[in-house]
Structure 1
Amino acid sequence: MGWHQFVFFLFVLNNQTPSTPLSLTHRQQEGEMLSLRGSVAKEGDVVLLFRGHLQFTPLLLQRGAMLHCKDGKFMHDDIIGMPLGTRVRGVSNIKNDPRSAPSLLVMQNCADLWTVAVPHRTQIIYNTDIAIIVFNLRLCPGSLVAEAGTGSGSLTHSIAKTVAPDGVVYTYDFHRLRCLEAMQEFRRNGLPSSLVKCNWRDVCVTSSDVDEAVMQGMQPPSAGEPETEEAKGEEGGPKAGYGLPKHHVDAVFLDVPSPWLAIDNVLHVLRPGGMLCTFSPCIEQTQRTAQRLRQPPHEFIDIRTVEVVRKYINPVCKKRPRRDGEEEGCDDKPSYRYKFRPALVSMGHTAYLTFARRRLECIPEAGAGDTTVVTGGESASADFTFETRGDTGVS
C-alpha cells in the first residue's frame, strides 16, 4: 500500500459515522454503556458538570428541574439537547452581579471521570491503583470478575468498562444500604444487570452453595419491601459466600477488612490460572493475607505486593551552555537540552495491592501413577516478596 492510499484510508476511516458495535445491540434494551450515550445530552442521562480543577458535579437530567450551586442557578432544560463538551450559562446567585453570567462545562460521563465525581459512601479506589489492578488481573473483554467490597462503585465502573460487552462483574457488599445505592447508580449510569450483578452477601463467611439469584442477576430487595427471613439469611444478615459455581470466574478482587478469611471462598470460585488481588491499607493485613496464601496445599503462586506512589517529573527545556573552545555565534540556531525536575509534592500511601495467581490443576503423567503440577510460573514455595518505592522498613 502506497502512502497516498494509506492517507486516503485514514481519511475515510475518520469520516465514517460512528456506530454502536454489533455485540452491544442485544443489551441496548436495558441501558447503554457510559461511553455509548451519544454526543447530545438527553433527559435521564447522568452528565458531569466541570467547575474547575478536579471539580465535577454529577447531574441526573430531569425536565423542569434546577441545579443550585455556589456558581449559580442552572436549568436542566437548558442542558437537555446541548452537545456534550459545551458550556451552559446560568444565573448568578448575587443580585445585580456585574460579572458575566456563570457557566459550567457539560461533559460526558465515563468511568475515569466518575472516579473523581462519585459520591463517597466509603473510601474509594482512585485511577492510579485502578490501572494497576486492571492490568495485573489480566482483564479483557469477556472476563468474569468477582469483586468483594462494592463500596462507592468506583472500581466497579472501570472493571465493567474493561470486560464489556460480553463479560460479567459480580460485585458484593455486606452492607445492605450501600448495596442498594450502588445498584441504583449502576442502572442510572447505563450499566445493565447483564453486565454488573450487585449482590448483598458476606464473602468472608465460608460457603460453597450456589445461589441461582446471583447467577441470574437478581437484585437485592428494595427499601420498601419487607425483609423476609429468606432475603435476610439464616442469621438475619447477608448470605454467606459468593453463590457462584466452582471455578466460575477468571479474577477475584477483595477490598474487605479481613481478606484472609475469604480465601476458602476464592478457591471455590476462581478458576485454575486465574488472578487474585487484595486491597489492604495496613501492612499487617497484607502480611496475614500472604501467610494464608502460602499455606498448604499451596494453591497460589507468584505472590507479590505492590505499593503505588504517584510522583510527577516535569521536563524543563534550557539552552545548552557554550562549551570550551566554541566561539559565540558559531551556530545559526542555539541548541537546547531537556532536564527533568521531580515535583516537590507527591501522592502519599493509599494501600498495598497483593497479587497472586492460582496454579493449574494436577495433570496425570502418561504411564505413571504420580501426578505433575503445572504451575506456569515460580515455585509454589517461593518466598513472599514486597515491592515498593522508597524505604518503608518492610522486607
Structure 2
Amino acid sequence: MSEVPEPEMAPASNPLPSPSAFLHTPESIPYSSSPSIIHLKRDLLVPLSFQSNKDQPETHDTRAAAYSSKGVLNTRFGDFPHSSIVGIPYGSQVLAAPLTNNEWNRKRKRREDPSEGATAEPKSTGFLHVLAPTAELWTASLPHRTQVVYTPDSSFILHKLQVRPGSVLIEAGAGSGSFTHAGVRAVYNGYPDGRSGIGKEGRKGKVFSFEFHKERVQKLIDEVERHRLDGLVEIVHRDVCKDGFLVTKMVGEQEEEGISPRATAVFLDLPAPWLALPHLTRRTRPTPSLPTSTGLTPSPSPGPTVAEDGSVTISNDKASNEPYDSGKPSALSSTEAVRICTFSPCIEQVTRTVSVLRKLGWVDIEMVEVQHRRIEVRRLNPKGYENGAGPRTVAEAVQRLKWVGEYREHKRERDSADSTATTVKQSPTEAWRTQNSREKEGAKDGKIITRTEPEIKSHTSYLVFAVLPREWTAEDEATAQALVEQTTKSVVNAPVDGNLKGNGKLKWKGEKEEKPMSKRQIKRAEREKRKTEEGKVEGDEAIEDEMIEGESAPPGNEEEGKDIPSAEGGNYKMEVDG
C-alpha cells in the first residue's frame, strides 16, 4: 500500500519561518501576514493583518463598518494607526487616535512619512482590543464563502472522533475553512520541518481538506499560506464522490499519485455523503441499490458516472460476499479503528447515510443533534414609585395617600416661611424615599430571570457518527495469539483454543488437558475428603485424652522408673521407697 512519505528536514542553512500565531501566540503583535482579531464589541470581530504600509492591502468589513487602508484602521469608534498597535501584547486595549476622516482621506496621496499618526495623542473616547487568533475567533470573524461549522458543532465533532495530536483527519467540503482551523489545532504536534521545536519525532498530525469548487480552493490555499499552516493542511481540489480520497505527493522530482492519507478520522460536510462512503472502506466492494424512488444509490469505487448534462448513472450490481479489491489503496489507516462523522441538515439524508454505513461494515452508528443556546441570567429588581410602580397592597396605598397629604401641607408651610430664618424639617415623602424606597430593599428581593439570545450562530443539522473497526485477518490472530502465549503463559490459565466441555477447563495449547470428572467420581472424591478430615479430628482428640490422663494419675499407681511429664515442661522419674 502506498503511504505518505515522511517530509525531509529543512537544511540548517535556510532559516525556518516562525510558526503560526494560531498555534503559538507571540509575545507581542508582529508585522505578519497572519491575522490578529480586532474586538470591537462582543459579537463584532474583525480579522486584520499588520504589514508594512506599501504591502498592506485595503480591506473592508461591511458588518463592522471598518476600513483598513494606508496603515490606519477606520471604524465607527475612531481611527487606529497600525503603528500604534504593532509591538504591544495581545489582549491590550488601544485608544483611538485624534485623527479625522479628512486627515486620512483615502483619495489623498500617500504621505512621505507613513508613520505620522503613530505619535498622535489618543482620544478620551473610542477604543478596541487586539486578541490573538484562535480557531473560535476565526470562526466568528472569517469572511463567509459558504455556511460555516460553528464552534459548538466543531468541538463536539472533534471530541466524538477522538482527534488528538498526531491524528490524520480527512475533511470533505472545506467551504470557508472554519472546521479546517479547528481540526489543525486538534491534530497539531509540531511542524514536519521542526520549526516549532516540538514534535520532531513520531507521526505528525495533518488535515487533508477536499473541496470541489475551484475558486474556494484557491482562497483556502492563500489563507493557509498567510496563516502559516502549510505543512499541516493540504487542500485538494476534487470531487470525492467520484474520485475518492487518495492524494498526490511529490517524491523527489516526480509526482506520485494514489497515495493513501492513512486517515484515522473523517468528517463529511457533503449534500450526499452516502456517495462518498464506498471510497472509505479498507476493501472496496460493490454496494446493492437502495429502495429509493430517486435512484441515487451508493456505488462502489470509482464512483458514479456523471454525464455532461448533470445526470448521474449508478451501478445496480448486487453485493457479493467475496472481498472485492479495486487495486487502489485504502484512504484509511490499516492499524487503527477509524471514526467518521457526517453533517446533514435533513433527516432523509441521515437515513440513507446510515443504510450505506451498515452495508459497508461500520458499527456503533448514532445520530446527534446539537442545540446550542446562549442564556442570559439577570436579576429583575422591583421598581419604585418614581419609576411608575403602583402600591402592592391596600395598606400601602392608604399610607401613600397619607404621605401625599402631609407633603402638600409641608409644602405650603415651606412656601410661606422665610427660608433664611426658618429651618424646615425634611418632608415625610423625602424621608420615605430615603428609608423605604423599593429600590433599596435589597438585591435578594429581585426575581432571577433568564432570556435566550434571539440570534445564535449555530446550525440545526444532524451529526451521524460511526466506527470502522480495525481489519483483523487470520495472520493477525495467529500473531496476537503467539504473543499472548509467550508473555502470559506462566500467569494466566484460561481457554484460548478449542471449546469447553463439561465442567473442565482447557489450558494453553500444548499443555496437559484436564479430563472432566463424572458424577460418581465427584461423589467418591467428596467421601474420601470427608473421611480424611474425620480421621484427622479423631487423632487429635486421642492425643488430648492421653495428655489429660497422664496429668491426673496418682503417684502410687505408677510403676517405678516411669517418666512423668512435669509442669515445667520436662520429665522426672519416680522411685518407690521400701
| TM-score, structure 1 normalization | 0.67
Q: 1:92 and 1:28 mapped to 2: Cα distance?
A: 40
Greater CA deviation, 254-263 or 203-212? 203-212
- The alpha-carbon distance between structure 1 residues 315 and 117, as it changes in their structure 2 partners (threshold 3 A), is closer
Matched, 1:311 2:356: no
What residue identity is the alignment partner of 1:90? Answer: A
Structure 1 residue 110, shift from structure 2 partner: 1.2
Tell me, what secondary structure is at the counterpart of 1:305? strand
Matched, 1:43 2:43: no
Q: 2:449 and 2:365 mapped to 1: Cα distance?
A: 34
- The alpha-carbon distance between structure 1 residues 316 and 107, as it changes in their structure 2 partners (threshold 3 A), is closer
Equivalences for 1:331-342 in 2 at 5 Å? none
Does the CA contact (< 8 Å) of 1:149 and 1:256 recur in 2?
yes
Q: Which runs of 5+ in 2 are unaligned?
A: 1-11, 54-70, 104-122, 190-203, 282-329, 381-441, 479-496, 499-578
- The alpha-carbon distance between structure 1 residues 288 and 159, as it changes in their structure 2 partners (threshold 3 A), is same
Structure 1 residue 95, shift from structure 2 partner: 7.5
Structure 1 residue 243, shift from structure 2 partner: 4.7
Q: Which runs of 5+ in 1 are unaligned?
A: 1-25, 219-229, 231-241, 319-333, 369-395
Residue number among 248, 254, 259 corresponding to 2:268 in the alignment:
254
Structure 1 residue 156, shift from structure 2 partner: 0.7
Residue number among 81, 93, 97 corresponding to 1:90 in the alignment:
97
Matched, 1:141 2:165: yes
Equivalences for 1:294-309 in 2 at 5 Å? 294-295=358-359, 298-309=360-371
Does the CA contact (< 8 Å) of 1:63 and 1:76 recur in 2?
no
Q: 2:162 and 2:245 mapped to 1: Cα distance?
A: 25
Q: Could you give the per-residue CA deviations for residues 268-308 of structure 1, whole angstroms, max 9, x where no partner exists?
A: 3123511001111222222211111112xx42001111110
Matched, 1:163 2:187: yes
Matched, 1:180 2:194: no
Tell me, what secondary structure is at the counterpart of 1:204? helix
Q: Larger radius of gyration, structure 1 or 2?
A: 2
Matched, 1:356 2:466: yes
Q: 2:50 and 2:125 mapped to 1: Cα distance?
A: 21
What residue identity is the alignment partner of 1:251? Answer: A
Q: Could you give the per-residue CA deviations for residues 88-128 of structure 1, whole angstroms, max 9, x where no partner exists?
A: 223465789xx844221111111111111111111101010
CA-based RMSD: 3.5
What residue identity is the alignment partner of 2:19? Answer: E
Does the CA contact (< 8 Å) of 2:246 and 2:331 recur in 1?
no
- The alpha-carbon distance between structure 1 residues 251 and 90, as it changes in their structure 2 partners (threshold 3 A), is same
Give the aligned partner of residue 224 of structure 1. none
Residue number among 331, 344, 363 corresponding to 1:269 in the alignment:
331
Give the aligned partner of residue 82 of structure 2. 76
Matched, 1:29 2:53: no
Residue number among 204, 228, 234 corresponding to 1:190 in the alignment:
228
Structure 1 residue 62, shift from structure 2 partner: 1.8
- The alpha-carbon distance between structure 1 residues 176 and 47, as it changes in their structure 2 partners (threshold 3 A), is same
- The alpha-carbon distance between structure 1 residues 209 and 315, as it changes in their structure 2 partners (threshold 3 A), is closer
Tell me, what secondary structure is at the counterpart of 2:266? strand
Q: 1:300 and 1:262 mapped to 2: Cα distance?
A: 14
Q: 2:246 and 2:378 mapped to 1: Cα distance?
A: 60
Does the CA contact (< 8 Å) of 1:50 and 1:105 recur in 2?
yes
What residue identity is the alignment partner of 1:42? Answer: P
Structure 1 residue 313, shift from structure 2 partner: 5.7
Structure 1 residue 260, shift from structure 2 partner: 0.7
Tell me, what secondary structure is at the counterpart of 2:26? coil
Residue number among 242, 248, 252 corresponding to 1:205 in the alignment:
242
Matched pairs, number = 299
- The alpha-carbon distance between structure 1 residues 244 and 136, as it changes in their structure 2 partners (threshold 3 A), is farther
Identity, % of aligned pairs?
33
Tell me, what secondary structure is at the counterpart of 1:253? strand
Residue number among 134, 147, 150 corresponding to 1:110 in the alignment:
134
- Normalized per residue, the structure richer in strand is 1
Residue number among 49, 53, 78 corresponding to 1:60 in the alignment:
49
Give the aligned partner of residue 245 of structure 1. 260
Give the aligned partner of residue 350 of structure 2. 286
Give the aligned partner of residue 434 of structure 2. none
Structure 1 residue 200, shift from structure 2 partner: 1.1
Q: 2:372 and 2:227 mapped to 1: Cα distance?
A: 29
What residue identity is the alignment partner of 2:87? Answer: G
- The alpha-carbon distance between structure 1 residues 184 and 311, as it changes in their structure 2 partners (threshold 3 A), is same
> Larger relative CO (CA 8 A, sep 6+): 1 or 2?
1
Structure 1 residue 341, shift from structure 2 partner: 6.2
